[in-house]
Structure 1
Amino acid sequence: TKAKLPSGRGLWPAIWMLPQAQSYGNAYWPDNGEIDLMEQVGFDPNRIVSSVHTAAFNHMKNSQPTNGVQTSDKLEMFVGDDNNPFFQRVLTWERNGQNWEGWGGQKRIDEGIFPKTMEIEWIRFYQCTSKAPVIDPPHSTTRVIGIRSSANGKFICAENGGNGPLIANRDTVSGWETFDLIILDGNNVALKSHANGKYVCAENSGDGPLIANRSQVSSWETFTLVNRGDGKVALVAVNGKYVCADNFGNSELVANRTSVDSWETFDLVPQ
């Protein structure tokens, strides 16, 4: 892409690549990806930023700067396949809309610079003549466990063969109370229920009860293990909150707590 960018406080010219189809994970941002090829900070015309958003890396979970500096006069990027249909999305922010005072305008808006135009001379797509090498994903480590709640001393159950939300209501472990604990990376894990072979999901970005209803792992199905000592752990869901066996374990598991006590503490019991 060759473009001439406008400058001035309150502007935020950008070139993004967005998905044509919502086909991955939970079918919501950021699971289907977003590539910010270029964003020019209006109040600082010398600053150009770029970013990649995925289910594993996004501003809802974490960010890590590259600490790199681009010094060349030209930056070339080769992305995609020119046989794919060209997809474009026009995003219009009304002045009094929700996002007008967002990041692009938080350094004040210069009302005297408008109107402004972003001029695009060309957009080119190139086709790769050979396939890129396939890299095998890292192998996961799996343990078979029961999960006992410290709230009431009972095991977590995927009720109704996995069709009901998780709740700590069983004295012993059988199929509905058995899970695969799958180590994804570091302290991030997924839980697969033996009741139905599906992954435990923190529904509605963690606002809904935990339920084993997903066939693949994305952000809603990823939990962070927090070691509490003496073999006990806490689980942090996609919303950054701790999974809780509410009401002394009598309520469905939900990620709704910002601190850890007995209701948010569990034993992982090998099976």
Structure 2
Amino acid sequence: MPVHDFTRLSSDAFRGFHNAWLTRLYDALNAGAMPNGYYAMIESETGEVVPDLLALHAPAADDKSADVPPGGGVAVATAPPPVAERREYRGAARTRTPRKYLAVRRADGGRLVGLVEVVSRANKDRPASVAQFVGKVVSAVEAGVHVLVIDLYPPTPSAPDGLPAEIGAEWGDEYRLNPATPLTLASYVADDPPVAYIQPLAVGDDLPDMPLFLDPGHYVNVPLAATYAENVARFPAPLRRALEAMPEQT
């Protein structure tokens, strides 16, 4: 299904879309999209940050229990994620920390493996909001947690090249957004150095599925396209009409 123009919705309406989409992703992942030994949960933060979240649940650097079991996930070596760009960050040296998001955990102990974040307007409306979101992603990756960022809002003055540019800058990268494709999907791999798989998009482009990594060598394809289409179909009719309205002719 083509990506819609979410600037047509109020922040409250998009929050409803966001929350429902996470539920559909939760259902799809737990219905067989992930290998045995993993599960997804919708979780939420209270306050601005949760300093102990990663310390309690992220895998230690030498924790082999976080390895993907044989036959689980897609091997990067044989089927690299089919996205537009792969970027490797060699300047990583900063620690910070991870509202409502999807968490992927190991069944044996509930170890946090990955996060799925749907960006809201409030995440990029001011410099402090951008810094908070970027800090969440960077600290998660540096703590060994893989992150998929779904950003279907256009750039703002506080993030003129989009959130991938702000995130990459923390690791010394200089990413520049193409104005023709101002929306982005980005999957961050908690590797040494960190790696990003970035797929630029524009309103009207078909939404692709994206990888969420289970370890640096294996990932699952997150069914964004099917869950997005279902979410749009079940969106309240007045809001769906606003979202799907044809642009006015000038």
Q: Which structure carries more strand by proportion?
A: 1
Bigger relative CO (Cα 8 Å, ≥ 6 apart): 2
TM-score clears 0.5: no
| Class of the TM-score when normalised by the shorter of the 2 chains | under 0.3
TM-score (norm 1): 0.21
State the TM-score, normalized to the length of structure 2.
Answer: 0.22
Greater helix content: 2
User: Radius of gyration: which is bigger?
Assistant: 1
